[in-house]
Structure 1
Amino acid sequence: METIQKLERDVWGMDPIPVHQTATAIKNGGLMLGAFDENNLIGFSYGFPGYANGEAFLCSHMLGIHQSYRDKGIGALLKVAQREAAEEMGYNLIRWTFDPLQSRNAYLNLSKLNGICNDYLVNCYGEMVDGINKGLPSDRFNIEWRISSSHVKQQLNYDVTPIYPFEVVHRDDFPAISEMEQTLQHIDYNEMSIAVPIPAEFMEIKKHNPALAKEWREVTRKIFQQLFQHGYTAYDVQKNNHVSYIITIKRQKLQLDVRGKNQ
């Protein structure tokens, strides 16, 4: 636990979770996993038990990878190990949050792991001061990972073609969404699937054009809130050079059965 505290500091530059808290959670339904290069800890995931709407789940609170080992698929391996261990412990659901404007995380969580989301949390953690989150509202997707479902286990192809209603323009060498309000007023919410653009390199926008980064936050917040209110669920990501797309689908289309029961 103390070794993990050091990695927490390296990854986020903030005070780590106290060992007495993580140790207590692990002894009471929580789960801590490490990734190692020989004897060196290079990544970890940490979760504790959660309960909402009559259902127990694992709340996956932190996943961190040492800077020298990022973009090597280690995060995905940790999530797969977490899924396997959680199933052995009796969980059917794992939940966690992530920033929907971070395209790499979106691709991992939605496309590779087959998580889904129709729960948008506005300024989830309040004002954050670490280098990744400082300066913007901490909006988050609340991911739903139904680890025993056909959607997760069978890598299903739903054979739907999304529409792309939002026009992306370039402003000062960065992408931006044009005429979002007008577009939202004319969307046909009977469409089965709708694509929402997000920047491929949001941190570059945040670094060089903070005003545009804030605009992306506010614009996509309105779009996702509206889509989720009309029964859509985010479930996939299409990657492109400057703009990626989070693909939403009507929730009833997804196969979220757990042990024969439709959730």
Structure 2
Amino acid sequence: MIEVRELREMVELERVDALFDDIWHFGPGAPPITIELMRALSHAGGYVAGAFDGDVLVGGSVGFLAADRTLHSHVTGATRRGAGLDLKLHQRRWALERGLERVTWTYDPLVRRNAHFNLAKLGARPVEYLPCFYGILDDAINQGDESDRLLASWPLTAPHVEAPARREPYDLPDPGDAGDAVVALADEGGRPVAAPVGDARRVLVAVPGDVEGLRRSDPGAAKAWRHAVRDVLGGLMAEGHAVTGFSGKRYYVVERA
């Protein structure tokens, strides 16, 4: 059973730093957060937590208070299945205890499992597309890719968030099931192919099956996906259309206004 608790001591923060490096293998001087900043955030009332399986640290998360009664989760990593969900649920309880209304975080829109976890499992929704938000990242996972990110917003008291947080079923229909959905960006043979959607009210935007593997095996294809999703999904969001879900573990669902 995984236990999540807040961390404050330097020896604990050093373990989180080591866990993050084991996950991402950051280059020298390029971690997403330093031990010293974790210490400062924890002391100042920010969010620094670890997930433990017995005495083994299997996940960590660091966040800070943001505007509009929000906790912004800056970095979260886990090495054990289930630890990511436990960390998110701990974040939710922590935020609610402090009168906060939402948790936000950024994630790579090309990573399917993260999109499914964030949108389909947690019920968060992307509210902004951020091109190359952190610049070029050279860690082992990003492989020099441009760091496009989606800003996800998690409304902590919405019914579709509260029920799963209580481990109760919630009948949230797959938004891509409707017959009127039109594919705006398709995966054809591992390559992105955009298509006209006419006046379709609901459109689907595909992402690659394994962009992390693609960065190693075919960097050109990974770059093509990056720019295609930026143009299609980012373009739709810039026009004011809403991302309402992630369908079939492969498509963003966008409702056009």
| TM bucket normalised to smaller | 0.7 to 0.9
1:3 equivalenced with 2:15 (yes/no): yes
| 1:82 CA displacement | 1.0
Q: Give the aligned partner of residue 58 of structure 1.
A: 71
Q: Distance in 1 between matches of 2:218 and 2:58?
A: 32
Question: Per the alignment, do residues 4 and 250 of structure 1 end up closer, same or farther by CA in structure 2, a change over 3 Å counting?
Answer: same
Structure 2 residue runs of 5 or longer lacking an equivalent are 1-12, 164-169
Does residue 246 in structure 1 map to residue 252 in structure 2?
A: yes
Contact 1:34/1:45, CA 8 A, preserved across alignment: yes
Distance in 2, Cα, partners of 1:56 & 1:213: 37
Say if 2:119 is the partner of 1:104.
no
Go from structure 1 to structure 2 and tell me whether the alpha carbon gap of 1:205 and 1:20 turns closer, same or farther (over 3 Å shift): closer
- Report deviation, 1:159: 7.7
CA contact (8 A) 2:142 2:212 kept: no
Sequence identity of aligned pairs in percent? 30
Q: 1:84 to 1:187 in 2, by over 3 A?
A: farther
- Specify the alignment match of 2:162 in structure 1: 153
Compute the displacement of 1:167 (Å): 6.0
Cα contact 2:187–2:208 (8 A) shared by 1:
no
TM-score by length of 2: 0.82
CA spacing shift, 1:166–1:5, aligned 2, 3 Å: same
Q: Paired residues, what number? A: 232
Q: CA deviation at 1:23?
A: 2.1
- More displaced, 2-11 or 215-224? 2-11
Change in 2 beyond 3 A, CA 1:18/1:206: closer
Q: What amino acid sits opposite 1:59 in the alignment? A: H
Contact 1:45 1:60 in 2 (8 A): yes
2:11 aligned with 1:24? no
Q: Secondary structure at the match of 2:87?
A: helix
With the length of structure 1 as denominator, give the TM-score of the two structures: 0.80
Deviation at 1:12, TM superposition (A): 1.7
Q: Once superposed, which parts of structure 1, at least 4 consecutive aligned residues long, lie more than 4 Å away?
A: none
- Over the aligned positions, Cα root-mean-square deviation in angstroms equals 2.2
In 2, Cα distance between equivalents of 1:43 and 1:222: 34
Residue 176 of structure 1: aligned partner: 191
Cα distance in structure 1, aligned partners of 2:61 and 2:128: 22
Once residues 19 and 201 of structure 1 are traced to their aligned partners in structure 2, the CA distance between those partners, rounded to angstroms, is 31
* 8 Å CA contact retained: 1:45, 1:78: yes
Matched, 1:202 2:208: no
**Aligned ranges 1:26-45 → 2 under 5 Å:** 26-45=42-61
- List per-residue Cα deviations over 1:46-73 (Å, max 9, x = no partner): 111112xxx131110111113xx2xx22
List runs of 5+ in structure 1 lacking aligned partners.
252-263
| Aligned equivalents of 1:248, 1:116: Cα separation in 2 | 11
Q: CA deviation at 1:123?
A: 0.2
